[in-house]
A = this chain, B = another copy of it.
Amino acid sequence: MRRGKTFIISGPSGVGKSTVLHALFADWNDLYFSVSATTRAPRVGEVDGKDYHFIAAEQFRAMIEKDAFLEYAEYVGNFYGTPKKYVDEAMEAGRDVILDIEIQGATQVCEKRPETVRIFIAPPSWEELERRLTARGTDTPEKVQKRLLRAKVEMETAGNYDYFVINDTVENAVSELRAIMCAEHCKPNERMNQIMNQQ
């Protein structure tokens, strides 16, 4: 059985990443969505093991020391991280793994595992991103401009990503994601082993 691969998916605020990921998982059972561990308390309605793996701070620190995270970070006093365990189990079972993380986390993962594939979800244009951010109605015009500026900086920082998927429509974005995942399984290393071992 072919081993799974890990794909990191990042993208700026407002680009529609959650909608795209939701559509991707609706179509495809062979994927594992990596659930982060966190030391923050569960909010009402959040389910342990589904929204997050809720763990105590001592346990989180012990895991850091055991190098049990692919990446982790502290954010307003709480820790968040990607446990290696579930990712590895899914890949061993032949499932591709999706990590929904930011650029800094992606850099940490790729330092440990350079074979990880990084995909950045980009807007079709800056105008369209501005329109989407404004349409959400949650931010002031000044906040929208700040997010827009941040998106541009993020996109330049993501220049070393492997792929850019443009979210013009959810359907196109999902189809590009699936194409990338399929193509990555056609890389020589994986295929040579597969064929050469069948003498």
Contact = CB atoms under 8 A, between A and B. Distances in A.
A1 interface: no
Q: Chain A contact residues (Cβ within 8 angstroms of B): what range?
A: 20 to 34
A174 to B, nearest CB: 12
B183 A164 contact: no
Interface of A: 119, 122-127, 155, 159-166, 175-176, 178-180, 182-184, 186-188, 191-192, 194-196, 198-199
Is the contact region of chain A dominated by helix, strand, or loop, or is it mixed? helix
A126 B197 CA distance: 10
A190 to B, nearest CB: 8
Contacts of A164: 186-188, 191-192, 195
A167 to B, nearest CB: 11
Contact of A176 (B119, B123, B182, B199): B182
